[in-house]
Structure 1
Amino acid sequence: MKISVIGCGYLGAVHAAAMAQLGHEVIGVDVDASRIEALAAGQAPFFEPGFPEILRAALDSGKLRFALAPASEELADVDVHFIAVGTPQSEDGKAANLTYVNSAVDMVLKALPSSDTAAEAGRPVIVGKSTVPVGTASALAPRIEAAGATLLWNPEFLREGFAVADTLHPDRLVYGLPQDAERAKTGAAALERVYAPLLAEGIPLIKTSYPTAELVKVAANSFLATKISFINAMAELCEATGGDVTELATAIGYDERIGNKFLKAGIGFGGGCLPKDIRAFQARAEELGVESAVSFLRDVDAINQRRRDRVVAQAIKIFDRKIENAKITVLGAAFKPNSDDIRDSPALEVALRLADAGAQVTITDPEALPGVATRYPQLITEADVLTALTGSDLVLLLTEWAEFVNIDPVQATELVGTARIIDGRNALDPCIWQGAGWSYAGLGR
């Protein structure tokens, strides 16, 4: 099929390359000229394991190309248009900013050829993948249908660090379909052609309404955020009582109704999805007059923020509040390992707050340092981990990259000024580090 992907950021670029790998003819469109130039040259503008390989393979096959918006001629004969633009948190509140979604839809509609045949058939199909407030698809649909096209909503469930696998081998596919039976049939048939290799694997397919499809994404993210904040709340109780949250998590995780995933206490979640999505969910619930239904998300967000406060307070307490000019090394800048994403990163926020308090903060990360160096000159960036540790008065492990978790504590002891570490991800073995001479502090342990 001929496919377009509007928006070539993290979601769109991965989706475009993956669809080309499935055999479709794909054009990726974006307003950012430098991003389009990089992608067209086979250069990934972000770090994602496996993405550079499928990008170059798709380009080499001739199945994938990129164009600068509006690209009207290139979009005119496309069968399926995927909308994969960002929906950032609005600057004046919690709600999602739909400017980019609306602009993308406008661009596609302007490129559609005028055709009575297309209008009768409900083609082409426009498919929303962006995370949007419930009700967005229903608001867009009349305008799209008036132009002779059909709208579906097909939410994404990508995990940064696993985006390629999650696109090519998702754990489920969700189609949000219009109420009109013929349009629903046309739209579903188009997506089933797009995803034929995935459906052949037996991947579950859920066909539902626009609102349900939109809610699936934000409900999933809200549940994950709640589970993370729950175990971090238990960490607070463990700190107050002398309990060990890692052992607590292991014990309750054996209950199959609970499970052990996302029960790892630490400094909390960040990134470009969970924080903004739970806030946008609250804002939309308020607009709908059902804010009490998701009022618990305020506590989820507050618990998450408190974990950052806790690490900052721990560090300051270690220096008896005399933190000025203390040499602190922060291991990790990205919000999670296997990513260079520093959006709402707990690790980066802690580093910045300690620097603001007067400490001399050196931060190291395998992939995220270019973005840190550009935006936060108050932090010292150091690519080499051992160099970053040299002379440090305190080490904070805040992103659990494998190269940090596997540091030899004996060797590290010889490099630092004072062997003290705060394990903000509870990723280290306290006995091994203490046996190597370190003063070890975890969270909730």
Structure 2
Amino acid sequence: MRVTVIGTGYLGATHAACMAELGHEVLGLDVDPDRIAALAAGRLPFYEPGLDELITTHVASGRLRFTTSYAEVAAFGEIHFSCVGTPQQPGAQAADLRYVEAVIDSLAPHLERPALVVGKSTVPVGTAERLARRLVELAPVGAEARLAWNPEFLREGFAVEDTLRPDRLVLGLDRTGGPAEELLRRVYAAVLDAGVPLVTTDFPTAELVKTAANAFLATKISFINAMAEVCEASGADVTLLAQALSHDTRIGGRFLSAGLGFGGGCLPKDIRAFAARAEEIGAGQALGFLREVDAINLRRRERTVELARELTGGELAGRRIAVWGAAFKPNSDDIRDSPALDVAARLHREGADVTVYDPQALDNARKAHPALGFAASAVDAATDADLVLHLTEWAEFRTVDPAELARVVARPCVVDGRNALDPDVWRAAGWTYRALGRP
């Protein structure tokens, strides 16, 4: 099929490349000409494992092209995926929908033949119905311009796999069994043939699936971090507690790892927007717990700073501190709401001499926090350090030899903000080891 993807950020670039991989002809659109030029040359403006190979392959084959023209997109495509961002509004909790609305306002006037516009962005419940009316009002083709909602469930670091082999497909439709569902079944034919479950539903339910999923995951993470606070107060070990809980099949072990908490461009802003929207529709009391979920998550960052202060004798000013990690999670260069960088910046504000290392996110971190120091390796960052903070769970940090590292630091002290290092190994190498939620 002839598919267009509007917005070529993280979601859009991934979706465009994977649509081409599934055999479709794809035209991607972005209003940023520099980004379009980079993608057309096969260069990704961000890091995502395996995606650069897909982009390069399908740009070279001619199956994937890019443009800045809405008129070209409207003339080319049978189906148009809207993949733009919905960030948090400045100074508020609600989602900023200006980019989603701009897609409809810019594309609809060019739709002179029947077309399907498919939203993939995370939006407040009720958005799709409003946009569907706007689409019909603005499109020359009128009611033959239809809207569907197909939320994405990508994990950064696994985005290609999650697009080509998702755990489910959700289609929000104005009515099931109609032309919109038929088109989407054709687009995803290879995925459906592989046995991926399909859920067809109305607009509000499709919108809620994504926000509810993120709210649940955030709640599970904050739950185990709340238990970490109790463990610290009682002398218990949260890693053993989580291990015991994980054997209960009703609970499971995924997202039950205590540590510095979640960040990134999805979970934090999505739970805030969800709670804000619930207030607007009169269901605010039902989601009041999400504000505590958010608060627990943010407290972990302050607790990490407190541990650093404790291990440097109560005074951070003038102390040399190495921070391992800048991305909000491993296998990504995304620093949006990164707990690691937030902690690094807090330490710097208290007068510490902070040096950061991350395998992929250093360029982004430098731009966002130019006052911090940066190093080319984990060992370089730790050289002459009074304290090492392990804050993003990159695999390479687990392979560092603590005995070798002890020879280059000023003081062998480490805070494991992700509970991913082996405390016995580090203590045997002479390190003072501390972690969140452990004795």
* Short-chain TM bin: over 0.9
Tell me the distance in 2 between the aligned counterparts of 1:336 and 1:431: 25
Tell me the distance in 1 between the aligned counterparts of 2:115 and 2:238: 53
Whichever residue aligns with residue 162 of structure 2, its letter is D
Tell me the distance in 1 between the aligned counterparts of 2:347 and 2:303: 12
In the alignment, is the contact (CA less than 8 A) between 2:128 and 2:149 conserved in 1? Answer: yes
Please provide the CA RMSD for this pair: 1.0
Equivalent residue, structure 2, for 1:94 = 93
1:318 and 2:311 correspond: yes
The alpha carbon displacement at 1:352 in A equals: 0.2
After TM superposition, list the pairs within 5 Å mapping 1:67-146 onto structure 2: 67-68=67-68, 70-113=69-112, 118=113, 123-146=114-137
The alpha carbon displacement at 1:315 in A equals: 0.7
Structure 1 residues 241-265: Cα deviation after superposition (integer angstroms, max 9, x where no partner): 0000000000011000000000100
The alpha carbon displacement at 1:92 in A equals: 2.5
Gaps of 5+ in 1: none
Whichever residue aligns with residue 86 of structure 1, its letter is G
1:300 and 2:288 correspond: no
Deviates more, 1:51-60 or 1:221-230: 51-60
Alignment length (residue pairs): 433
In the alignment, is the contact (CA less than 8 A) between 2:312 and 2:387 conserved in 1? Answer: no
After TM superposition, list the pairs within 5 Å mapping 1:29-428 onto structure 2: 29-68=29-68, 70-113=69-112, 118=113, 123-146=114-137, 147=142, 148-179=144-175, 185-428=178-421
Whichever residue aligns with residue 75 of structure 2, its letter is A
The alpha carbon displacement at 1:202 in A equals: 0.7
**Runs of 4 or more consecutive aligned structure 1 residues displaced over 6 Å after TM superposition:** none
Whichever residue aligns with residue 115 of structure 2, its letter is P
Tell me the distance in 1 between the aligned counterparts of 2:9 and 2:63: 19
TM-score by length of 1: 0.96
In the alignment, is the contact (CA less than 8 A) between 1:145 and 1:151 conserved in 2? Answer: no
Tell me the distance in 2 between the aligned counterparts of 1:378 and 1:73: 44
Tell me the distance in 2 between the aligned counterparts of 1:248 and 1:280: 32
Whichever residue aligns with residue 149 of structure 1, its letter is A
Tell me the distance in 2 between the aligned counterparts of 1:75 and 1:42: 24
Whichever residue aligns with residue 98 of structure 1, its letter is L
Whichever residue aligns with residue 391 of structure 1, its letter is D
Equivalent residue, structure 1, for 2:20 = 20
Structure 1 residues 17-62: Cα deviation after superposition (integer angstroms, max 9, x where no partner): 1001111110110011111111110001100000001111111111
Whichever residue aligns with residue 304 of structure 1, its letter is N
Whichever residue aligns with residue 27 of structure 1, its letter is L
Tell me the distance in 2 between the aligned counterparts of 1:74 and 1:291: 40
The alpha carbon displacement at 1:324 in A equals: 1.1
The alpha carbon displacement at 1:108 in A equals: 1.4
Gaps of 5+ in 2: none
Structure 1 residues 412-439: Cα deviation after superposition (integer angstroms, max 9, x where no partner): 1111110000000000110000000000
Tell me the distance in 1 between the aligned counterparts of 2:131 and 2:368: 36
The alpha carbon displacement at 1:206 in A equals: 0.2
The alpha carbon displacement at 1:321 in A equals: 2.5
Whichever residue aligns with residue 141 of structure 1, its letter is A
Structure 1 residues 314-369: Cα deviation after superposition (integer angstroms, max 9, x where no partner): 11122233211100000000000000000000000000000000000000000000
Tell me the distance in 1 between the aligned counterparts of 2:78 and 2:387: 57
Structure 1 residues 181-202: Cα deviation after superposition (integer angstroms, max 9, x where no partner): 6xx5100000011001000001
The alpha carbon displacement at 1:389 in A equals: 1.2
Tell me the distance in 2 between the aligned counterparts of 1:408 and 1:86: 41
In the alignment, is the contact (CA less than 8 A) between 1:364 and 1:385 conserved in 2? Answer: yes
Give the fraction of aligned pairs with identical amino acids, expressed as a percent: 57
**Distance 1:249-1:261 versus aligned 2 partners, 3 A rule:** same
In the alignment, is the contact (CA less than 8 A) between 2:70 and 2:107 conserved in 1? Answer: no
Tell me the distance in 2 between the aligned counterparts of 1:73 and 1:225: 40
Tell me the distance in 2 between the aligned counterparts of 1:375 and 1:346: 14
In the alignment, is the contact (CA less than 8 A) between 2:322 and 2:387 conserved in 1? Answer: yes
The alpha carbon displacement at 1:305 in A equals: 0.4
Say which SS state the counterpart of residue 100 (structure 1) adopts.
helix
In the alignment, is the contact (CA less than 8 A) between 1:398 and 1:424 conserved in 2? Answer: yes
Whichever residue aligns with residue 152 of structure 2, its letter is E
